[in-house]
A and B are shown apart, each in its own frame.
Chain A
Amino acid sequence: MTDETLTRFKSELDSFFVLVLLNMVFGALAMAFGMQFIIASVLGLAGGQSTPALRILAGSISLVGFGLGLSWVLSSAKILKGINAIRREFRSCPAPVTGEVLTGWILQMTAHYRQNKKAIGLMTRICTLGGCVFLALGIINLIGAVAVWGSPAGILVASLFFITTAINLTIGIASLRFSSYFRRYSRAWDNRIDEVSQNEKALHNFMERG
């Protein structure tokens, strides 16, 4: 049983590590692009663009995106710290891994989930919200691209809008995907925590007997 359990444990540990790491990268990207779009919107306003209302809207949403990106990175860093400690211990352990060592790691993961349940829940919501914000930005920039398409500024400005749209949509879709992965991870661990609670009765009875 230990070998199969070990394989499953390793796979889950690696998957979650990659998810949190990628999530952190996208959080940083969201922050960076949020800031960039704020500046671009302000510069666009100062330059007397033909669609100031659209620029103000894009600037406001970018500000929200920047704030979300910041909390996104901070939450990811908190979760990553705990998971990285378990992963380091796992990688430095010489084979063969005994059942007790494996159980110790499972216990650490369980304790990590209990401790970070709220942060993971927050992460899920931030990803969903961040995804929606960047999708909205993408749509606004797409409208901007269409609006300037026929203007004297021509194809160059429209192309820049299209590139921005592509970046926004990529971050938005990735964020929504991440939020669904976080939900799946939480579901798996909530089931495990329930199972632990149900088995506490058996452990209690065992402890108390004779």
Chain B
Amino acid sequence: MGGRRTEFEIYWEILVFCKSPRSFTAIINRCDLNSKTGQEYLEFLRSKGYLSLTKDGERSTWVATGRAHEYIALFTEIYQKLFDTIPGFKL
């Protein structure tokens, strides 16, 4: 997913994608990020306890924690409300 997104939208995308364990490369490809910003986002989410990093030998994977589900739920509610409370466009 590309386009102009806010940091909170990118957090949401990362957390939803990481409901299953994901590699760093898979995350930055899916969320359309470069390595540098991708690393910054992941580190931020880990520092806040929304993501955890698991190392299995050579392979490292990121996975969303229980706290991430609360953020996902709040975000989902806010964005769906955009279509519920604000008069939309119809021909």
Contacts and interface: CB of A to CB of B under 8 A. Distances in A.
A82 B3 CA distance: 9
B8 A203 contact: yes
A25 to B, nearest CB: 15
A198 to B, nearest CB: 10
Contact of A19 (B5, B75, B86, B91): B91
Interface stretch (A72-80, A127-135, A167-175, A181-189): A181-189
By size class, the interface of chain A is: 35 or more
B85 to A, nearest CB: 8
A86 B13 CA distance: 16
Contacts of B62: none
B82 A204 contact: no
A199 B81 CA distance: 11
Contact of A181 (B12, B70, B79, B91): B91
Residue in A8, A103, A106, A108 with the greatest tally of chain B CB atoms within 10 Å: A103
A203 B74 contact: yes
A103 B1 CA distance: 12
Nearest to A106: B79
A159 interface: no
A108 B89 contact: no
Contacts, number: 107
A51 interface: no
Interface in A188-210: 188-189, 191-192, 195-196, 199-200, 202-204, 206-208
A164 B16 CA distance: 56
Given A108-B3, A111-B9, A196-B6, A203 B78 contact: yes
Given A15-B90, A15-B91, A206-B74, 8 more contacts: A12-B89, A99-B80, A100-B72, A108-B1, A188-B88, A203-B74, A206-B70, A207-B8
Interface of B: 1-6, 8-9, 11-13, 16, 48, 50, 70-72, 74-76, 78-91
Interface of A: 1-2, 4-5, 8-9, 11-12, 15-16, 18-19, 82, 99-100, 102-104, 106-108, 110-112, 114-115, 181, 184-185, 188-189, 191-192, 195-196, 199-200, 202-204, 206-208
